[in-house]
Amino acid sequence: MSEITSNGEKHLVLATGRAHPKLAEAIAAELDTGLISTTSHTFANGELYVRFNGSVRGSDVFVIQSHSTPINEWLMEQLIMVDALKRASAKRITVVAPFYPYARQDKKHRGREPISARLVADLFKAAGADRIMSVDLHAPQIQGFFDGPVDHLFAMPVLMEHIRKTFDLEQLTVVSPDMGRVRVADVWSDKLGTPLAIIHKRRDPLVPNQVSVHEIVGDVKGRWCLLVDDLIDTGRTIVAASEALKNAGAKGVIVAATHAVFSDPAYDILQSDFIDSVVVTDTLPIPDEKRFPSLTVLPIAPLLARAIHEVFDDGSVTSMFDGDA
């Protein structure tokens, strides 16, 4: 991508928190620019400190942070980065949160629960963010939680290109691992020209991270099943779905997911015999010790860089996905 750091009227600044500097560096490389030098540290009592070592006055600043573990610390770091930028007279501040923190708490399932995804949006606003950029929000309505523009990007084109190149589409059936993913899985099956199957998953609201499969709707016998999901956390959703698919006669199971959260015991259980291949993007850092032979990690930096380019240049983010989602 060509150099766009200044277009005469505006000056682009890329800033990164400490969660996933490799992603920020890859975005900067795509944009043929660098990251602003930043001093960050954690005090003995856990409080965070950030200072930018250069002027941001009048700049269009993109604050890149991945919300991996420790998620609350990285959220707070991004908030105080935004606060520092606001107080240093940045002209516009975009929070780039490829994996939106607390996205799964997007509604009240029961009385006396919070809507934490809304709270996060309010915190970004209160800190001084003008806009948010994120990839594959767990629920699209999160866009409405933030009082300002939200650029909602889709990893589907990145994941789909790999699937098309690697697997025989004639043998593929797209599978939604739960009712919440049906709409997205339907788009996948439409684009790939494959049949669709749906898994009815059950969770006990009182037991976090436990999953059971109730039934499979659709024909999966003798098929290669492509499970599509927004995120893999503990891996239990995907493994339970894969086991049910193999028990129902599926020939193989491929998993395509955007966000590799990979909390324990994901690393161990994703290597189960029920799963043949796992494809994710690097919206979150995946350390070497969490990578396994059947895992493919696709770079998300080109997509984010292009979106940043479009926003900075007053172009169109929507046009990046025309006909995609």
The catalytic site residues sit at 201
Shortest Å distance, C-beta 78 to ligand R5P? 22
Tell me the two tokens of residue 244.
């049910």
User: Measured from the CB atom, is 257 or 304 closer to ligand R5P?
Assistant: 257
Backbone φ, ψ for residue 144 (5° rounding):
-80, -10
Shortest Å distance, C-beta 266 to ligand R5P? 7
Q: Helices in the chain by DSSP H: which ranges?
A: 21-30, 71-87, 116-127, 156-166, 182-192, 236-247, 266-269, 301-312
Interface with ligand R5P by CB under 6 A: which range of 14-22, 111-119, 176-184, 189-197?
A: 176-184
Output 51-54 pairs: Cβ under 8 A, ≥24 positions apart. Answer: 51/84, 52/15, 52/84, 52/85, 52/88
Interface with ligand R5P by CB under 6 A: which range of 148-156, 175-183, 280-288, 302-310?
A: 175-183
- Determine the Cα–Cα distance for residues 270 and 231; give it in Å rounded to an integer: 13
- 178 is a site residue for ligand R5P (CB under 6 A): yes
Shortest Å distance, C-beta 189 to ligand R5P? 17
User: Measured from the CB atom, is 198 or 211 closer to ligand R5P?
Assistant: 211
Query: What is the x/- site pattern for ligand R5P, positions 195-234, by CB under 6 A?
Result: --------------x-x-----------------xxxxxx
Tell me the two tokens of residue 30.
């795509």
User: Measured from the CB atom, is 27 or 137 closer to ligand R5P?
Assistant: 137
| Cα 152 to chain centroid, rounded | 10
- 136 is a site residue for ligand R5P (CB under 6 A): no
**Going edge to edge, which strands form the sheet with 295-298?**
212-217, 196-202, 172-176, 224-232, 252-260, 277-281, 295-298
**Residue 322 DSSP SS3:** coil
| Sole binder of ligand R5P in the list 66, 177, 216, 258 (CB under 6 A) | 177
User: Measured from the CB atom, is 36 or 97 closer to ligand R5P?
Assistant: 97
Shortest Å distance, C-beta 136 to ligand R5P? 10
Residues in CB range of 259: below 8 A, 6 or more apart = 98, 99, 135, 136, 230, 231, 232, 280, 281, 283, 284
Shortest Å distance, C-beta 269 to ligand R5P? 9
Task: Determine contact, residues 78/115, Cβ cutoff 8 Å.
Answer: no
Interface positions, 94-133, toward ligand R5P (CB under 6 A): 104
User: Measured from the CB atom, is 171 or 209 closer to ligand R5P?
Assistant: 209
**Binding stretches for ligand R5P (CB under 6 A):** 104, 177-178, 180, 209, 211, 229-237
